[in-house]
Amino acid sequence: MREYTKVEELQSHYSDFYKDVHGFRPRGSTNEQWDSEQWLQGEIDGLHAYLKDLGSTPAGRVQLREMGFCTDDKEADEEWAAAEIRAREEEEARYAEADRQDSVLAELLAPLTQAEQIEMDMK
C-alpha cells in the first residue's frame, strides 16, 4: 500500500473538508499554493474558524445543521434531527397516498378483462 506524504494528506483533507463546507471542491489555487503544507494548513484552519464563527449564533447553528454538521447545542441538534425525521415521514406518507391514488385510478381506467366484459354483457 502506498504511503502518502504529509502534503498529499493535507490536500485530500482540505479538498474533502472544503466540499463539506461549501458543497464543491476548492478551485482557484495555484500549483505553488496546492503544494505548500503551510498554505494548506492555513486554509484548513480558516475553514475551522469559519465553522466556529457560524456556530456562535442561533441562525448560524441552524445553517450548520442544514449543512449536515452537529453543534455544541445537543438539545437543538436532537430537535433538528427529530424534525428532519418527521418531515421525511410526512413526505413518505404523501408519496404512499399518491401511489394509492394512482393505483385506484389505474384500476378504474384499465380495460375490462374478458371475464369482466362477459359479466357486464350479461347485465
With 0.85 as the threshold, say if the pTM is over it: no
Cβ-contact 35, 65 below 8 angstroms: no
Q: Which residue, among 93, 61, 57, has the nearest Cα to 80 in the 3D structure?
A: 61
Cβ-contact 63, 54 below 8 angstroms: yes
The per-residue pLDDT for 80 is 72
Alpha helical stretches, state H, the chain: 6-22, 31-34, 37-54, 58-66, 74-109, 114-122
Please tell me the distance from the alpha carbon of residue 69 to that of residue 51, in angstroms, as a whole number.
9
The per-residue pLDDT for 37 is 95
The per-residue pLDDT for 46 is 96
Rounded to a whole number of angstroms, the distance between the first and last alpha carbons of the chain is 79
The per-residue pLDDT for 39 is 96
Please tell me the distance from the alpha carbon of residue 104 to that of residue 102, in angstroms, as a whole number.
5
The per-residue pLDDT for 40 is 96
Cell digits for 32? 505553488
Residue ranges, the chain, pLDDT below 70: none
